[in-house]
Amino acid sequence: MILLVQTCLSPQYYYDASEAEAWMSEQELYMMREERAKDEIGAQNMMKKHTALENVVEDYAGVVRQLGECSRALINQCDQIMRQSQVDKLYAGLKNLAQGRRSQIAIRQSQVDKLYAGLKDLAQERRSKLEEVLKLYMLCHEIEDLFQWIVEGEVVACSHELGQDFEHVTLLKERFQEFALET
């Protein structure tokens, strides 16, 4: 009975593991694309798309976890078969089959786990790059603001206006004092 269950579940596990590997490979290709944003809005849109993809990858952890549980269950079944085959010499061939499948399943699950870990690393790497691009755009904005402030300050500092009357002279003096405090 155990052999029958294991024989039925093992091909399904391999199919599901292959599907998972194919999906993760496809996501890896997307993560490795070297797109460059042409402007800040493009970078923000890329970050939104990347965040959505990261969420999909995070949600896929359930599939990987289920595959891991299935592989452990299959390995346990293989272990049961190996123990059962030790008791009954008639099932000596079954023991070899179970050991082979056990190793194959363990290796396959290890591959799935490594592929998923690589995908997560790529997602984090891409997030870091996009965050750097956004920081660069923010720095550009700050530089533009500073440049504008300098230009405005130059106008006040370089003014040759002497004033037309006492009030006008007082106003010009206050403007210059404010400028002096800001700098």
Residue 20 makes CB contacts below 8 A (sequence gap 6+) with 60, 63, 64, 67, 112, 115, 116
Mean pLDDT of 171-176: 82
More confident residue, 167 or 119: 119
Nearest C-alpha neighbor of 34 from the set 140, 122, 139, 117? 122
Kind and range of the H or E run holding 164: none
Q: Structure tokens of 182?
A: 């800001």
Nearest to 128 by CA among 28, 34, 47, 49: 47
- In tens, the pLDDT along 61-116 reads 999 999 999 999 999 988 888 777 666 665 567 777 788 888 999 999 999 999 99
Could you tell me where the DSSP H helices lie in the chain? 2-32, 40-59, 61-87, 92-157, 166-182
Model confidence, pTM? 0.63
Smallest CA-to-CA distance from 37 within 131, 141, 119 is with: 131
In whole angstroms, what is the distance from residue 43 CA to residue 35 CA? 10
CATH number of 2-140: 1.20.58.60
Q: Residue with structure tokens 């106003």?
A: 171
Lowest pLDDT segment from 16-20, 54-58, 157-161, 166-170:
157-161
- What does the alpha-carbon distance between residue 177 and residue 171 come to, in Å, rounded to a whole number? 10
Chain centroid offset of residue 84 CA = 45
pLDDT in tens, 43-74: 999 999 999 999 999 999 999 999 999 999 99
Whether residue 1 has pLDDT greater than 50: no
